[in-house]
Amino acid sequence: MSETSVREAEIAVEQKHLDVVYARVAEIRDDAEDMRTKGDQLAHGARNEAVFEQAAMLFERDVMVRHATQILRTLDAEHEGLVFGRLDSTTGETQYVGRLGVRDGNFDNLVTDWRAPAAAPFYQATAEHPMDVVRRRVIRSTGKQVVDIDDDLLMPDARAESMAVVGEGALMASLTRARGENMRDIIATIQKEQDVAIRAPWRGVTEITGGPGTGKTAVALHRVAYLLYRDRRRMGGSGVLVVGPSPAFTSYISRVLPSMGEDSVELRSLGEVLDGVKAVRNDSAEVAAIKGSLRMRRVLKRAIRDAPADAPDELRIVYKGQVLKLDARELAGVRRAVHNGRRPPNQSRVDAAEALLEALWRKADSFGDFPATRAELLTDLGERLDFHRFVVVWWQLLTPMDVLRSLGERRRLAAAAGKVLTKREVDLLAASWSDLSAGPSVADVALLDELRILLGRPPRRRRKHGDPEPPRGSNYDEYAHIVVDEAQDLSPMQWRMVGRRGRYASWTVVGDPVQSSWPDPEEARRARTAALGGPTTEHRRFALRTNYRNSAEIFALAHKVVADIATPEELPHAVRSTGQEPQVTVVPQDTLMSAVVDAVRTLLAEVQGTVGVITSTSRVEAARAAVAGVDDDRVKVVDGLESKGLEYDAVVLAEPTELITESLTGPRTLYVALTRATQRLTVVTTNPTWPT
């Protein structure tokens, strides 16, 4: 038989099995629909029963309906590409691997869930350690139709004569296909070094490092799906938090998890970790570095002790014909004493009132023959409306945002900063907070979270009927597992913020030190160790070494840029060669943007998928304006920092040297930008000697 007809015959074999699977899935669907209908009827019939019975039936109904709905949802989400693998073992047994486990009416296995231990050989078997797998087959389908297969023969000696082997490896076939909007589906081609990290035990801290394109993000997300499958009870209840660098990034990966059948997962960018805040604005690298450093804790601690700008600086009260007065200095003394107490300020208003009354009594007592006792004065004044009014404005309940706004006033910030910040740092921060009408920046969010703790929760108003439930995560230590992607970029203050949410959590921490944009790695490392539960936490490390994203030609250029600052182990190996060298176009300054637009048009014609334009933060607006004329939604414009974690089929990199001069970490941001393209890279520069 010719190779094509062998392939076709094998496809037909797999189609037959797929038909059986989808027929069975249709049955399961029908059963679930039935169950949901019955559940609804149960509730209907229960309406007139005694209260107890009704409650029990309602419970049963809820369970039935929920269970049925869950089954239906999962079946719908996983319908496409349900079966993607097949293993043939030395014993002659055949096993299919898919997104879900499916059994037939006799409980015989039709498909094994990829996360089940029995499916592990699909990912872990190699020619050196075949794990009894003779042939591993990857099945590619669209809808219910098998379109292609690719085989690996792992034990040639054990191959039966009738066993066909087709294709040249699924990985390469998958890597050369164009990207769509979505993150590519890697479930059928997860590699062994990745699988080991995905299936690592849930406990303690699992750290995954690797260069660009090594699949860290993909691995982290599949690990979440795996943990939810294996430890549903532990993980499902309090949920999993995935923290990624930017909203663009989280929206890109949020499409992966639902399609993996998981909804107990919250994805948040660093600007959204605090409930109710959605920050997308980035500060300049210099300002972000100040805001992220641990010194800010001391500044904020002092800031909340300062009197609010509009607080009165004199208390005057007439009691039994006598004028009692506390001046600014005396009031400041009382304020200090209350702040030195045990409770955070938002919970200290009663303490403040008591301290003021005591101060008033001391005043009164010093008059000699004051016409009231201490107890009388405390009770009488304590009930007076004018006194209450004074307390409310003198000891205000503050929101974190109030405090941040107040620090936009240079004088107040300088007072809170003392010697902790330099004059220039105070200038920069005060300027950044003087107008917060556009909302806080991403780096501000960690400061707001710190202030939330320092200020304490205001005494709770009783929740009125109909008020919304506070959202999950507002009790910040609730998550069962936290995944931090691009972990190399978290500032110490951000580590504190994320750490607060994982006091009882286990962790997956994913990153690449070479791509770091944080200028003080040592301080960040300490904050990170503390956030992850201290140095004694159980810790396992995995390093990924193969770059699946970039062509070898593109990565060779990126490699040059960081050769001096990275160790050889930190730089991955790009496996796929396209024969297309990156193109460097040198142009005069005044035609830079038109050259970028030309390059975009050329690449749009040459690749099927997305084209990213990456440039410095200061140029990103100009680039957006220039590219706006290209009417194609495959084009996206981002700055170097925003490009982190993203990928495009082709990239136009405009004025690369500016990515270095703008950053506090030298060529690292440029390295990030150079490693976003899967197929084509065009660099447009005004520097005739670039990249040297």
Residues in the chain: 692
Least Å from the CB of residue 277 to ligand ATP: 25
**Which H helix or E strand runs over 87?**
strand 83-89
Q: Segment near ligand ATP (CB under 6 A), from 87-95, 181-189, 520-528, 655-663?
A: 181-189
Nearer to ligand ATP, 433 or 548 (CB): 548
Three-state DSSP class for residue 476: coil
Q: Which of 352, 369, 264, 365 is nearest to 315 (CA)?
A: 352
Least Å from the CB of residue 215 to ligand ATP: 3
- Within 104-163, the residues that bind ligand ATP by CB under 6 A are none
Least Å from the CB of residue 32 to ligand ATP: 32
Please give the size of the binding site for ligand ATP, defined by CB under 6 A.
23
Q: Which of 181, 275, 196, 256 is nearest to 649 (CA)?
A: 181
Q: Interface with ligand ATP includes 191 (CB under 6 A)?
A: yes
Nearer to ligand ATP, 194 or 259 (CB): 194
Q: Interface with ligand ATP includes 222 (CB under 6 A)?
A: no
Q: Interface with ligand ATP includes 210 (CB under 6 A)?
A: yes
Measured in degrees and rounded to the nearest 5, phi and psi for residue 684 equal: -110, 120
Asked whether residue 215 is marked as a ligand-binding residue, the answer is yes
What are 534's two structure tokens? 């201290």
Nearer to ligand ATP, 441 or 675 (CB): 675
Nearer to ligand ATP, 458 or 513 (CB): 513
DSSP-assigned states of every residue in 530-559: HHTT-TTS-EEEEEE-EEEEEEHHHHHHHH
Q: Interface with ligand ATP includes 665 (CB under 6 A)?
A: no
Q: Interface with ligand ATP includes 171 (CB under 6 A)?
A: yes
Q: Segment near ligand ATP (CB under 6 A), from 212-220, 261-269, 270-278, 335-343?
A: 212-220
DSSP-assigned states of every residue in 593-647: HHHHHHHHHHHHHH-SS-EEEEE-GGGHHHHHHHHTTS--TTEEEEETTTTTT--
Amino acid at 42: L
Nearer to ligand ATP, 211 or 400 (CB): 211
Three-state DSSP class for residue 687: coil
Q: Interface with ligand ATP includes 90 (CB under 6 A)?
A: no
Q: Segment near ligand ATP (CB under 6 A), from 168-176, 233-241, 308-316, 516-524?
A: 168-176
Q: Which of 207, 407, 417 is nearest to 293 (CA)?
A: 417
- Pairwise CA distance, residues 333 & 358, whole Å: 12
Nearer to ligand ATP, 114 or 395 (CB): 114
209 near 191, Cβ under 8 Å?
Answer: no
Nearer to ligand ATP, 425 or 489 (CB): 489
- Within 539-598, the residues that bind ligand ATP by CB under 6 A are 548-549
Least Å from the CB of residue 403 to ligand ATP: 35
- Within 475-514, the residues that bind ligand ATP by CB under 6 A are 512
Least Å from the CB of residue 212 to ligand ATP: 3
CA angle (625 as vertex; 621, 628 as ends), nearest 5: 135
Of these, 85, 215, 292, 345, which contacts ligand ATP (CB under 6 A)? 215
CB atoms within 10 A of CB 94: 12
Nearer to ligand ATP, 124 or 348 (CB): 124
Amino acid at 204: G
Which residue has its beta carbon closest to ligand ATP?
A: 215
Asked whether residue 216 is marked as a ligand-binding residue, the answer is yes
329-338 long-range contacts, CB within 8 A, separation 24+:
330/359, 331/307, 331/394, 332/307, 333/359, 334/359, 335/305, 335/307, 335/395, 336/305, 338/395
All residues at 6 or more sequence positions from 238 whose CB lies less than 8 Å from its CB, including other chains:
478, 479, 480
- Pairwise CA distance, residues 483 & 139, whole Å: 30
Residue 682 pairs in a beta bridge with: 583, 652
Q: Segment near ligand ATP (CB under 6 A), from 130-138, 211-219, 459-467, 615-623?
A: 211-219
Q: Interface with ligand ATP includes 245 (CB under 6 A)?
A: no
- Pairwise CA distance, residues 601 & 588, whole Å: 19
Q: Interface with ligand ATP includes 184 (CB under 6 A)?
A: yes
Of these, 213, 244, 345, 612, which contacts ligand ATP (CB under 6 A)? 213
Nearer to ligand ATP, 187 or 428 (CB): 187
Least Å from the CB of residue 253 to ligand ATP: 9
**Which H helix or E strand runs over 243?**
strand 240-244
Asked whether residue 508 is marked as a ligand-binding residue, the answer is no
Radius of gyration of the chain (CA): 31
Q: Segment near ligand ATP (CB under 6 A), from 59-67, 216-224, 370-378, 660-668?
A: 216-224
**Which H helix or E strand runs over 393?**
helix 385-394
Amino acid at 416: A
Asked whether residue 214 is marked as a ligand-binding residue, the answer is yes
Least Å from the CB of residue 214 to ligand ATP: 4
Of these, 517, 675, 682, 685, which contacts ligand ATP (CB under 6 A)? 675
- Pairwise CA distance, residues 164 & 215, whole Å: 31
CB atoms within 10 A of CB 201: 12
Q: Residues of 449-459 as b/e, b for ≥16 C-beta within 10 angstroms?
A: bbbbebbbeee
Least Å from the CB of residue 219 to ligand ATP: 7
- Within 593-652, the residues that bind ligand ATP by CB under 6 A are 645, 647
Asked whether residue 612 is marked as a ligand-binding residue, the answer is no
Q: Segment near ligand ATP (CB under 6 A), from 182-190, 237-245, 299-307, 330-338?
A: 182-190
Of these, 112, 124, 214, 346, which contacts ligand ATP (CB under 6 A)? 214
What are 46's two structure tokens? 């229960």
Measured in degrees and rounded to the nearest 5, phi and psi for residue 329 equal: -65, -45
Least Å from the CB of residue 568 to ligand ATP: 18
Q: Segment near ligand ATP (CB under 6 A), from 89-97, 214-222, 305-313, 472-480?
A: 214-222
Q: Segment near ligand ATP (CB under 6 A), from 188-196, 274-282, 407-415, 462-470?
A: 188-196
Lateral strand order in the sheet of 506-511: 265-269, 240-244, 481-484, 506-511, 205-210, 539-544
Nearer to ligand ATP, 213 or 473 (CB): 213
- Within 6-45, the residues that bind ligand ATP by CB under 6 A are none
Asked whether residue 546 is marked as a ligand-binding residue, the answer is no
Nearer to ligand ATP, 194 or 348 (CB): 194
Least Å from the CB of residue 220 to ligand ATP: 8
Q: Interface with ligand ATP includes 216 (CB under 6 A)?
A: yes
Q: CA quadruple 273, 276, 282, 284: dihedral positive or negative?
A: negative
Binding site for ligand ATP (CB under 6 A): 171, 174-175, 184, 186, 189-191, 194, 210, 212-218, 512, 548-549, 645, 647, 675
Binding residues for ATP: 210-217
Binding residues: 210-217
